[in-house]
């Protein structure tokens, strides 16, 4: 059952005509009518339940405009990522998920299933160790915020972008 974390959900209904929306992208058309269980929506973002949850609570936060992936982001996109993180925290907070039981991050291509930027917002624990294995966190050393892994936590992504670097699978 979807949760409403915002008093009034705005739907302008014309995302399909937006220049930043791809006709072939499933996430560009995320709506209740298209089978998504929407938990949050505003003019810029949509959050919905993951169809194959890995954890007790598992949502995806996406920008309404099409952005290919976390690899596409630059320093100027730090605000966008912070906004996505804030939405994730609002959702998990409304479910009383304590801070230590929250995990948020992005899969790094080619290890992602949908080519539309999406932040995994998880309220732990994981449902199975096999599902947890899809979200490995590796901390970096020296100047690197993250180590060798196909998943980057949102805080790591923000640090990387703030330094003017790009997120990738290799340490960065």
Residues marked active site are found at 120
For residue 66, what are the contacts with CB-CB under 8 A and spacing of at least 6? 20, 21, 22, 25, 27, 28, 116
């Amino acid at each position: 059952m979807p949760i409403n974390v915002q008093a009034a959900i705005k739907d302008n209904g014309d995302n399909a005509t937006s220049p930043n929306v791809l006709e072939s992208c499933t996430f560009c058309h995320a709506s209740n009518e298209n089978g998504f269980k929407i938990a949050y929506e505003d003019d810029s973002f949509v959050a919905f339940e993951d169809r194959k949850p890995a954890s007790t609570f598992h949502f995806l936060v996406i920008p309404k405009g099409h952005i290919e992936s976390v690899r596409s982001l630059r320093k100027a996109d730090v605000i966008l990522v912070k906004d996505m993180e804030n939405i994730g925290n609002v959702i998990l907070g409304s479910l009383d998920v304590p801070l230590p039981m929250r995990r948020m991050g992005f899969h790094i291509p080619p290890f992602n299933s949908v080519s539309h930027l999406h932040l995994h917002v998880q309220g732990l624990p994981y449902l199975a160790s096999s599902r947890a294995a899809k979200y490995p966190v590796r901390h970096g050393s020296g100047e690197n915020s993250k180590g060798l892994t196909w998943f980057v936590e949102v805080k790591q992504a923000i640090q990387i972008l703030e330094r003017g670097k790009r997120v990738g699978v290799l340490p960065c």
